[in-house]
């Protein structure tokens, strides 16, 4: 029996391996059919999408790793197709991406963000996940991370595209943290206040994605700081999360105006 994490990991793996072909009449998607697969694995993938996806009309939709996988519940149950297309994400950052990139180009990250990176990045080891890659600042630092074993997720399509173009060879996915089905990271980091945008589920997911013995570094804006979205007059004000109110002080390292929460998985 799979537990929840193993199920998503296995389904993500199965779906990645599928033999997809471009649809001739509807080029916005690709599809794969049973005879291209080990038959039982195909049936298994279809069933798992139905069990773990969302029912939209007659379709079951499962988002994973930047794609959306779709199974139509066909009444005869004779023909199955797994369709796949790129998942479209929206983000408040799209509203001010040009100003954001301009600010980064002109002044670079703020002093506090640089301090934070210089504390966290030298500690990064093993298979690593970066959440909220943004414009790819962390990969531009002198504590360079190798493309080997690096995965980055960025929900804003424009920023993901920018970071991918800037750092070719790095595995950067336009995807939200909740839809990533890769697991077992030795290090996870989210810098520059990214964790202030997290939901409680995202925080839990970070813990789930860590390998035993792994460490996560989550950066929060401290109470009173203004996030980028607010600064440019877009998006709802950030919740003023103060991790010190909910977590033991001993778990936190505080540098400058940011707080980095360290989570260790036993
Ligand atoms: C404050 S910026 C920091 C960017 C970068 N880490 C840096 O230090 O320059 C936060 C970034 O995280 C992204 N983000 C926020 N929540 C996310 C999530 N759940 N999954 C993926 N990206 C997310 C935003 O789109 C934004 O680009």
Average predicted confidence (pLDDT) for the chain? 86
Establish whether residue 163 lines the binding site of ligand 1, counting it when its CB lies within 6 angstroms of any ligand atom: no
174 - beta bridge partners?
154
Look at the chain and count its residues. Answer: 266
Measured from the CB, is residue 20 less than 6 Å from ligand 1?
A: no
Distance in angstroms (rounded) separating the CA atoms of residues 206 and 198:
10
Contact 252, 260 (CB under 8 A): yes
Nearest CA to ligand 1 atom 12: 132
Q: How far apart are CA 6 and CA 144, in angstroms?
A: 31
Q: Which atom of ligand 1 is nearest to the CA of 132?
A: 12
Spatial neighbors of 55 by CB under 8 A, at least 6 apart, are none
CA angle 42, 48, 53 (to 5 degrees): 125
Give span(s): CATH 3.40.50.150, the chain.
92-264
Q: Between the CA of residue 196 and those of 10, 21, 109, what are the distances in Å?
A: 30, 40, 17
CA distance 126 to 187: 7
The span from the CA of 182 to the CA of 237, in Å, is: 31
Q: What is the pLDDT of residue 1?
A: 45
Global confidence as pTM: 0.90
Residue 247: burial class (beta carbons within 10 Å; 0-12, 13-18, 19+): middle
Of 117-121, 177-181, 259-263, which range is least confident?
Answer: 259-263
Confidence of residue 77 (pLDDT cuts 50, 70, 90): low
Q: Which of 196, 179, 266, 261 is nearest to 231 (CA)?
A: 196
3-state helix, strand, coil in the chain (%, to 5): 40, 25, 35
Residue bearing the bigger pLDDT, 243 or 32: 32
Residue 233 burial (CB count, 10 A): 9
CA–centroid distance, 30 to ligand 1, in Å, is 29
Q: Are 179 and 207 in contact (CB under 8 A)?
A: no
* Closest alpha carbon to 217 in 266, 167, 260: 260
Q: Is 154 in the pocket of ligand 1 (CB under 6 A)?
A: yes
- Could you read off the pLDDT of 240-258 as tens digits, one per residue? 566 666 566 666 666 666 6
Displacement of CA 139 from its chain's centroid (Å): 16
Residue 154: closest CA among 162, 142, 146: 162
Indicate whether residue 162 lines ligand 1 (CB < 6 A): no
Residue 30, pLDDT > 60, answer yes
- Under CATH, which architecture does the 92-264 domain have? 3-Layer(aba) Sandwich (3.40)
Q: Is 206 in the pocket of ligand 1 (CB under 6 A)?
A: no
pLDDT, position 147? 94
pLDDT at residue 266, rounded to an integer: 87
The closest of 236, 241, 237, 201 to 221, measured between CA atoms, is 241
Tokens of 133: 């890659």
Say what angle helices 97-107 and 157-166 make with each other, to 10 degrees: 40
Q: Count CA atoms closer than 13 A to 100's CA, side-chain side.
A: 22
């Amino acid at each position: 029996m799979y537990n929840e994490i193993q199920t998503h990991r296995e389904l993500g793996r199965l779906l990645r391996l599928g033999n997809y072909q471009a649809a001739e009449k509807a080029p916005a998607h690709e599809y794969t059919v049973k005879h291209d697969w080990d038959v039982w694995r195909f049936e298994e993938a279809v069933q798992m999408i139905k069990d773990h996806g969302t029912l939209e009309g007659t379709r079951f939709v499962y988002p994973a790793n930047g794609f959306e996988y779709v199974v139509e519940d066909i009444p005869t149950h004779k023909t199955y197709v797994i369709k796949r297309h790129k998942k479209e994400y929206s983000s408040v950052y799209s509203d001010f991406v040009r100003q954001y990139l301009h600010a980064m180009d002109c002044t670079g990250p703020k002093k506090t963000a640089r301090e934070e990176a210089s504390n966290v990045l030298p500690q990064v080891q093993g298979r690593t996940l970066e959440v909220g890659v943004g414009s790819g600042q962390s990969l531009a630092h002198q504590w360079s991370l190798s493309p080997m074993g690096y995965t980055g997720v960025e929900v804003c399509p424009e920023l993901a595209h920018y970071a991918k173009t800037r750092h070719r060879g790095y595995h950067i996915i336009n995807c939200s943290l909740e839809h990533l089905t890769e697991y077992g990271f030795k290090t996870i980091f989210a810098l520059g206040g990214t964790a202030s945008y997290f939901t409680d589920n995202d925080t839990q997911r970070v813990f789930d994605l860590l390998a035993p013995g792994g460490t996560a570094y989550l950066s929060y804006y401290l109470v009173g700081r203004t996030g980028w979205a607010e600064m440019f007059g877009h998006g709802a004000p950030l919740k003023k999360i103060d991790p010190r109110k909910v977590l033991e002080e001993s778990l936190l390292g505080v540098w400058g105006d940011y707080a980095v929460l360290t989570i260790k998985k036993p």
